[in-house]
Chains A and B, each alone.
Chain A
Amino acid sequence: MSRGELQEHRIYLADDRKLAAYRAALAEVVKPGEVVLDLGSGTGLLGYLACEAGAKSVIAVDGGDIIAAAREIAAANGYADRIIHIQALSTETALPTPADVAVCDQIGGLVYDAGILAFYADARKRLLAPGARLIPAAFEIMLAPVTFEAGRKAVDFWSSRPGSIDVSPIHPLAANTEWHYNPAPEDIEKLAGGKVLASFASDHDDPIKGSATFEVEVPGSFDGFLGWFVSRLSPSVTLTNDPWSPDRLERWSNFYALDKATPLSPGDCVRLDLDVRPRLSLVSWSTTVLHSDGRTHRSRQSTFNSSFLSASAVNGFVTDQPVGTSERSELIRQVLDMIDGRRTQRDIVSLLSDRVGTDFASPTHLENFVRRVVKLNSRDLM
C-alpha cells in the first residue's frame, strides 16, 4: 500500500462529522439481524458501524489491497466472525447472500465521480434483497457561479509562459478539466446563491441533466462554477460538502472553470446547462452569460475534452475500432498462459526472463511486472 492510500484512509477515518452521520443513518436504517453490504469498504469502518447498529453480518467489498487491513481491523475489534471480506469490484463479483441494506461512501465531490451510482444500480439488480434500503438513499447536486482565484490560476497557468516556454496548447485541456478543491469559505465567493441542478435516487446511473439561471447578486470575476452535493443518508440524516456549510464533511468540491474569466455585475445573468454521464465519468457544462447591456458570452465545455492526450490513450475507451496488439500485451498473454495452477511466480519469472532479453531494467522489474499480471488474475474471495 502506498503512503498516499494510507493518508487517504486516515482522512476518511478521522472525519468525525462523516462518522457521526453514517453512524446515525445506519442506526436508523439497519434492523437487528439484517445483512449489510459495505461497498468500497476501505478499512471497513462503515461495516463496523453496521455491526454496532445490529447487523447480523456485513459483506465488505473493495477492489483494493486495503481489504487485507480491513480484515485485521475487524479481528482487532471483535467483528471477524460477522464480516465477510471480498476483494473485487462489486460489479465483477457475486455475494454469498443477498443484502438487506447497502452502505457506500463512494460519493466523490459531485456524486457521479466515485462510482456509487453505478455500484448501487448494479447492486439493486444483482446483489440486494427485494426492497433493500440504500445508504445514502438520494442526492442533490448543487452549483453556484463563483469568484475563485486559486481555481482560475490553475487553469490560466496554462496560458502563461513558464521559463519562456509556450504551454498554451494545454490551456483548452485545463479549461475542460474538473478540478478538486477544498476551499475555505473566505477564499471563494458566490456571485449568486447555489441552486439545485438535479435530484435523484442513489441507484440512478442514467444521465443526470439540469439547468439553472443565476441572477448575479455580487460583483466579481466569474471564474467558473463550484459544485457540491447534499446526500440524504437516511430519513433524518444528511451530509454535504458545501464549502459554506458549517456542517460540511472533509471532502473536496468540484470546480468547473469558465473558458475565460468574465467580470460580472448585479443585473447580469448566468445560465448553466449541466450534463453528467455517470457511466462515462464525464461532465459537460454549457454556460451562457447574459450581460445587462445585451452582450453575451457562450461556452460549451466537457471533461471529454480533457480526458486523454494521445492516440494510445484512446485505446482506453471502448470504440468500434479494433484494439491493437503490442509487445506488452503479448507478454501479458504469455504470463497468463503460464498460470496453470502448478507453476509458482518464481517459475513464471524464470521462464519469462529467457524471452524478454533487456526489455526490463532489472530482474526485480520483471518480477514486479509478473506480480501485477498475477494479481489481476487472482482477485477473489479472501
Chain B
Amino acid sequence: MTSTKAPAFAIPPHVLYRQVDGQMVLLDLDSERYFGLNEVGADMITRLTDQPYAAALASLTSDYEVDPNVLHRDVTELVEALLDAGLLERAEGSP
C-alpha cells in the first residue's frame, strides 16, 4: 500500500549531501564525484524529499509565485536529471 503523505523521492544511501549557504553539495560515493545544486534546485529537492509530490509542488508554486506549468516543467527537468545521474530515487507512490 502506498501513502499519499510520504515523500515521492529520496536521496539514495550512496549519495551524501549537505546544504551550504542554501546551495546543496551532493557526493555520489559510487562514482566519487561531487555535484552542486543552486539555491532553487536545492530548495526543490529538499521539498520533494520531505513532502508528498503534490504538496511540494503547491508550496513551491506559492513561494516562488510562478506559473504552475512552468514550475512543473522545471521540477520535472531537475528530477529527471537527478534520477539519470543516480542522485535521486523514486519512493513508493511517486508520480
Residues of A within 8 A of B (CB): 207, 275, 277, 279-280, 282, 284, 302, 304-305, 308-311, 313-314, 317-321
Contact = CB atoms under 8 A, between A and B. Distances in A.
Contact of B20 (A277, A279, A314): A314
Contact of A314 (B16, B23, B32): B23
Interface string B17-43: 010111101010100111110100000
A308 B25 CA distance: 10
Contact of A311 (B16, B21, B27, B35): B21
Given A207-B29, A308-B25, A318-B34, 20 more contacts: A275-B29, A279-B32, A282-B27, A302-B16, A308-B20, A310-B20, A310-B21, A311-B21, A311-B23, A314-B20, A314-B36, A317-B25, A317-B34, A319-B35, A319-B36, A320-B33, A320-B34, A320-B35, A320-B36, A321-B38
Contacts of B36: 314, 319-321
Contacts of A207: 29, 32
Contacts of B27: 280, 282, 304
A207 B20 CA distance: 26
Q: Describe B's contact surface by its main secondary structure.
A: strand
A304 B28 CA distance: 11
A359 to B, nearest CB: 24
23 contacts: A207-B29, A277-B29, A277-B32, A280-B27, A282-B27, A302-B16, A304-B16, A305-B16, A305-B18, A308-B20, A308-B25, A311-B21, A313-B20, A314-B23, A314-B25, A314-B36, A317-B25, A318-B33, A319-B25, A319-B35, A319-B36, A320-B35, A321-B38
A311 to B, nearest CB: 4
Interface string B47-79: 000000000000000000000000000000000
Size range of the chain B interface in the assembly: 10 to 19
A321 B36 CA distance: 6
A318 B18 CA distance: 15
B20 A311 contact: yes
B53 to A, nearest CB: 25
B18 A304 contact: yes
Nearest to A320: B35
B15 to A, nearest CB: 10
Nearest to B18: A305
B75 to A, nearest CB: 19
Contacts of A302: 16
Contacts of A314: 20, 23, 25, 36
Contacts of B25: 308, 314, 317, 319
A330 B87 CA distance: 34
A311 B36 CA distance: 10
Contacts of B18: 304-305
B43 to A, nearest CB: 15
Q: Which of A277, A284, A302, A314 has the most CB of B within 10 A?
A: A314
B32 A280 contact: yes
A305 B18 CA distance: 7
